[in-house]
Homo-oligomer: A and B are copies of this chain.
Amino acid sequence: MSATKKKIFIVVMDGLGDRGCKELNGLTPLQATDTPNLDWFTKNGIAGTCDTVDIGIRPGSDTSHLSILGYDPLEVYTGRGPFEAAGIGLIGKYGDVAFRCNFSTCDSDLNITDRRAGRIDKPDTTELVKALSGMTIDGVEVIIKEGTEHRAALILRGKGLSPDVTDVDSHDLGPLNKAKGKTKEAEFTANVINKFVKESYKRLKDHPVNKRRVKEGLLPANIIVPRGAGDFPNIQPFPEKYDLKAACVAGVGMIKGICAICGLDVIDLPPSCTGGYNSDFIAKAKVAMETLKTYDFILMNVKAPDVCGHDRDPIRKCEVVKRLDQMAGYIKDNFRDDLVIVFTADHSTPCSLGDHSGDPVPIAVYTPGNVMDEAVKFSESGCSRGRIGRIRGKYIVQMCMDLAERTEKFGA
């Protein structure tokens, strides 16, 4: 066995898979676009198709990235709450309970008069959140962070917490609900969250930001209203599970959040990496290649193809594919021989659908000295000629670990 352990670089081209598009004569954007660099990796490597979660399952970005990182979301996924919290940078851990929240407007009897406080946004919310920081209720630490517009996320951290509590948010105007425990053990958590809601009103009602807003004819955000409790998944941190120093290179909050929950370091990106369709892919790849000098594993996410799928824009998706191929060219030109590289997607986002689908995605894996199979074109159809066959996403890391000469022999 060689002593040269290789590094692993997974390039997730978000929502890249597609179905036949009328505008492309029944071809997919990948089928319709010339991709010499992606094809080079496919031709010189191994290829296949991948159901990130399982056959026919339409994955979210959270469940699919968990899979690509080697976790089975059918086992570890605990719902949107904790991943949305992580998405705005509030990274909890097992035992924490996360809530989605609104900044709302209420009267002095705590009757809601506007659920979104007039769609308040940063920097006001950032100021208001400061007034709520460092709070402890019945021994439970309360951590809150603002999101986009009126949205925020909340984490309770302490002993004896449970996510089995009903929403304070009545999803309507008028009186708030009182959070209730769905189980006996959850009553403590319900009690803490009810106390927090009252305390938020106490701290926010006369806050200078709100006084200014009222003066300006804007609605004050004088209460925080939580909903959608969920606990953080109990997962073994990725670096420990695989003995890899691991990082994520991504522009989108939710992807960074998922990776952070899994224990990956989140690498800062230059402002040209926007996460939008016009993001600078090569700049992002440069950051990833640079980071690989000191890390063993990188998951890089490029969001742009998904955006085109949601926008039902196959022509723009083809342009994005062309630029992704240029990015692949940059990686090829700067390739390090101690690298196992994976090109794949987290799910398909067919332009005809405008949303994620359960169609399997193409995958190509290249490392010098591996087998060359019969797949030559990086596309939904072309990759299916390869020897990877049809696999589930949760096997990708394990397969790469073996190619990276990092696995233990099972047996003698």
Q: Which A residues are within 8 Å of any B CB, using their own CB?
A: 1-2, 18-22, 26-28, 31, 48-49, 53-64, 73, 77, 80, 83-84, 254, 352-360, 369-374, 380-382, 384-391, 395, 397-403, 405, 407-412
Contacts and interface: CB of A to CB of B under 8 A. Distances in A.
B409 A355 contact: yes
A370 B352 CA distance: 9
A64 B410 CA distance: 9
Given A60-B409, A77-B410, 11 more contacts: A2-B354, A18-B371, A57-B402, A57-B407, A59-B411, A63-B411, A64-B411, A83-B411, A373-B384, A387-B390, A389-B389
State how many copies of this chain the complex holds. Answer: 2
Contact of A412 (B84, B381, B407): B84
A397 B56 CA distance: 8
Contacts of A27: 372
Contacts of A61: 411-412
A58 B360 CA distance: 26
Given A20-B370, A26-B372, A2 B353 contact: yes
A369 B352 contact: yes
Nearest to A44: B26
Contact of A1 (B31, B354, B381, B407): B354
Q: Which 5 A-B pairs have the closest CB atoms?
A: A60-B411, A389-B390, A56-B398, A63-B411, A358-B402
A53 B397 CA distance: 16
